[in-house]
Amino acid sequence: AQSVAQPEDQVNVAEGNPLTVKCTYSVSGNPYLFWYVQYPNRGLQFLLKYITGDNLVKGSYGFEAEFNKSQTSFHLKKPSALVSDSALYFCAVRETSGGSYIPTFGRGTSLIVHP
């Protein structure tokens, strides 16, 4: 079975500071990993994904995430946060082989960037 955990309900950071939103996962084989963002009154939008290759993945809006197999983590990062980054962030995982293509989502982390 696949699962994902986002241990923080909320992350607060000052504008201009680096931000990290944490995600850990559990799969029986190798994972596909995703980050989505939800702005107020909008649907979940795809940010980035890890399929294979480089452990550091770059995505939209200056975000990046690092796949760490030994720690089973896929933390989302940005070097310098903007107030406009304030949103709900969802991590998702699915197995690379077998099973379905349906990803499992976490419960989301609310990122609040203070001016």
Write out the H or E segment, with its range, that includes residue 14. Answer: strand 10-14
Task: Please give the size of the binding site for another protein, defined by CB under 8 A.
Answer: 26
Using the rule CB under 8 A, give the single segment among 21-29, 45-53, 63-71, 79-87 that binds another protein. 45-53
Cα(97)–Cα(14) distance, integer angstroms: 40
Q: Read out DSSP for 50-101?
A: E-SS-SEEE-GGG-EEEEETTTTEEEEEESS--GGG-EEEEEEEEESSSS-S
94 belongs to the binding site for another protein (CB under 8 A): yes
49 belongs to the binding site for another protein (CB under 8 A): yes
35 belongs to the binding site for another protein (CB under 8 A): no
78 belongs to the binding site for another protein (CB under 8 A): no
Using the rule CB under 8 A, give the single segment among 13-21, 69-77, 79-87, 96-104 that binds another protein. 96-104
DSSP single-letter state for residue 103: P
Q: How far apart are the first and last CA of the chain?
A: 41
Interface residue list for another protein (CB under 8 A) = 9, 32, 34, 36, 38, 41-46, 49, 51, 90, 92, 94, 96, 100-108
